[in-house]
Amino acid sequence: MTKKQIATVAATTFFLAVFCFSGQAIAGSTSGWLYQYDWVKGNSCGSGMAEIRVTTRAYSSQAIVKVAKIKLTAESMSTGQVTDSAIVSNGSSASVCLKKNDRFVMDIDGGGSYRSFNACYYYSNFNDITGRTSDLHVHLESTGKGIDYEPVGPKNIWINTDPTYQIKLDKFTPLYGTTGTRVIWIDDVLNGKGNMFYELISGGAGTYNVKKTGIQDGWHTWSFYIMLNGQVDPFNIGSPSSGKSDIIGFGLDRAKPTASINHSPVSVANTDSVTYTANGQDALSGLTNISIYVDGVLAKSCPFAGQTSLQQCVFTAGPYSSGSSHTYYLKATDRAGNVNQTPVKSFTVTGPACACTPWANGACAAGSCTTLQRQQTRTCNPVNCLTQSQCVADATCCVCTAWADDDCGLGTCGANQMRQTRTCNPAACDVESQCAASASCPRTLTLSLTANPNTGNAPLATTITGTVGGTAVGTINYTTWWDCDDPCATVSDCQAACGAWDDKADGQAAMVRALNHTYSAAGIFHPKMIVERHSLSASGSVAVTVINGPPSVSALVNQTDYCGSGLSTMFSWTYSDPENDPQAFRQVQVDDNSNFSSAVDDTGKAAASSTSYTVLSSKLAYNTTYYWRIKVWDSAGNNSGWVSGPSFTTPLHGYPAIDFSWTPSTPKAAELITYTDLTQIFGGSTIVSRSWEIDGADPNISVAESPAVTYAAKGDYSTKLTVTDSQGYTCSATKNITVKKSIPDWEEG
């Protein structure tokens, strides 16, 4: 069997069904390449039918590729009813049986690895293929290659000029020697009839504009195919070609909407209101707006939602003055952007002629005029055809300033009334004072006092803030006491109860006064502030609680002298208290566990003012790490809590116990004296070094165990012995020696 491209075997019998929307491609799908083998006799479908088998292949070879699904459908071209179908999931082939006047639809899902392919075909000379079988190969490209495409516009809009189709190639990978020229085949479907044309474009991925003329008005749907290598015939699939793109629609409407406008009444008098009635209709795209213009100005705009039926917009104005002329027209706009402006119409307002004499001044405040106005009159013919009197401002009439607030309760005004005054010219031509109800009356004065913070340890620095409120006016006097626990509410009463004030500021404009004060001792204090404004006063008080602060411990030190005092260790600390309360008690704990679960020494809470404590040697052991902590109490009973000092480790054994002697015990000058080292060493250690410092002797230094020396003169001298054992522990001891005067030898004669 010879494999041929489909165009070579069925150029007249194998047709692409442009109205077969079930075979449209999804936007962004790639093109495929379709092969058909020669028809062979025999099939499994039965008489009067033809069988088509579809196999998916690699784009550039005959290798079978697995896809997610192959779906074939046979449909009646007259009713759209499905006559046969086949689905192969994750397979490579499927077949379907066709009856006469059937079309078949391919829907191949490439899954995640291959592109999908969608198309729809039918055979015009069905008798030639009855009882036969044919194999179709659909070559698919991998998802990383191929052609991605989609229609952009016009999309779901109405336009009023020949359309420019925008076609977008998101990706283009040359295949099978594809040149840079592609053919875009547009399928313009109007009322079920396909109008096909093509356009050659050059370039890679991008958006292309294809202009089309000669399309009649109405709603259109359109889609396109992509043909490669200059192919222009969708019936001749001789090159890789895509399935159909998405089908999108647009409307073409080049006709202006119909429009008319009239006014009523037809003859307009100067007493009439005029109604403008505008009508518009666009039977194709529908109206979006009717605008009424009166005297060249937009008077009313009526929006519509694209209705195709007759629509109306009404506007009423007037009455207009007699003899005036007015113009009007409308603009009607449809969804395609077509605008119809009607011719300008006009009318003139009629009315009786009115002749009046000039205005003549009358008296001030006459008729309905106020004291600041003068009445003017005139005579008109016919009588009352226009206004015959009016009130006008006149400088010669009484002129007064605006009312100004004085204060509440003044003169004859009650406490709830504000007295207002003004000046008039001529003097006293009108009332110059009055009582008016006012939300500001009667005057009030309030004071809010706060302390921040209002509690804390001594010394406590706080800000005392007084905030003035109410309707009282004038400057403010502030008087403050740091501590005044008395219900007094006036300055004089608080002076009598609490003594002289601590702060006073009179004649202040600020509504807030903030004062800083530090309470050094513990206790509860009551700062009080009194404010005075106009004839009113207000007071405020707040409680400030100052707490006796706990003491603290710092500079923890442990001191040891393993030469002189064995394992005895002294601990010391620095005590401080915010109120300078003295240390009254202390408790010291020493333990070889950091959690102090089994203290080797615990003093308990003991009365003591000393800031040191010595633990005895008997409570400590050699070669052990110890931890210690201290807690102190002040005279007010507050404690510092436990504070840990630095840990320490005792030596492996005792330090050298230095001792030495000399002979003779009461030496004389110039006499040979021998020192003997009596030092005791512990823990199996040995002496690794010793040194003697013998003041006044010859020699005065030595490293011998028992050095022999002489003193040249009598006197008191010191001798120091330093010994270091094999653990590196070093101790020294000093003793004083008295050398007496040498006694001369006597010889008898």
Pick the CATH number of 660-739 from 2.60.40.10, 2.60.120.620, 3.40.190.10, 1.10.10.10: 2.60.40.10
Say what percent of the chain tops pLDDT 90: 49
Q: What angle do CA 279, 283, 287 make, to 5 degrees?
A: 55
Name the more confident of 682 and 385: 682
pLDDT of residue 189: 53
For the chain, counts of helices (H) and of strands (E) = 2, 65
- Give residue 8's pLDDT: 21
When mean pLDDT is compared across 17-31, 123-137, 194-208, 515-529, the lowest value belongs to 17-31
SS3 653: coil
Task: Give pLDDT, residue 479.
Answer: 97
CB 223 within 8 A of CB 165: no
Measured distance CA(201)–CA(196) in Å, rounded: 17
Measured between its terminal Cα atoms, the distance across the chain in Å is 167
665 within 8 A of 701, measured Cβ to Cβ:
no
Residue 507, Cβ neighbours under 10 Å: how many?
9
**Cβ-based burial of 749 (10 A; exposed 0-12, middle 13-18, buried ≥19):** exposed
Q: What average pLDDT does the segment 214-224 reach?
A: 83
Does pLDDT of 465 surpass 80? yes
Comma-separated ranges of CATH 2.60.40.10 domains in the chain: 258-348, 552-649, 660-739
Decide: 118 and 108 in contact? Cβ < 8 Å. yes
In this predicted structure, the answer to whether residue 291 has a pLDDT above a threshold of 90 is yes
pLDDT over 80 at 21, yes or no: no
> What is the pLDDT at residue 432?
85
Peptide bond into 453 cis (omega under 30): yes
Fold (CATH) for 258-348: Immunoglobulin-like (2.60.40)
- Whole-number mean pLDDT of the chain? 84
pLDDT, residue 340, reads: 95
Where are the CATH 2.60.40.730 domain residues in the chain?
A: 446-547
- What is the CATH code of the structural domain delimited by 446-547? 2.60.40.730
Q: What is the pLDDT of residue 744?
A: 62
Report how far apart, in Å, the C-alpha atoms of 86 and of each of 105, 337, 503 are: 11, 49, 102
**Architecture of the domain whose range is 147-252:** Sandwich (2.60)
Q: Tell me the CATH number for domain 552-649.
A: 2.60.40.10
pLDDT over 70 (residue 643): yes
Band of the pLDDT at 180, cuts 50, 70, 90?
low
Is residue 132's pLDDT more than 70? Answer: yes
pLDDT for 354 equals 72
Least confident of 465-469, 576-580, 642-646, 690-694: 576-580
Phi-psi region of 462 (alpha: psi -120 to 50; beta: other; left: phi over 0): beta
Q: Is pLDDT larger for residue 157 or for residue 232?
A: 157
Distance in angstroms (rounded) separating the CA atoms of residues 418 and 413: 7
Q: Token digits for 455?
A: 């509690």
| β-bridge partners, 447 | 468
Average pLDDT (278-291) is 95
In this model, does residue 2 exceed pLDDT 90? no
Question: What pLDDT was estimated at residue 15?
Answer: 35
Q: Is the per-residue pLDDT at 23 higher than 80?
A: no
Mean predicted confidence (pLDDT) in 694-714: 95
pLDDT bracket for residue 33 (50, 70, 90): low
CATH number of 3-140: 2.60.40
Q: For residue 647, is pLDDT > 80?
A: yes
CB 590 within 8 A of CB 582: no
Does the reported pTM lie above 0.85?
no
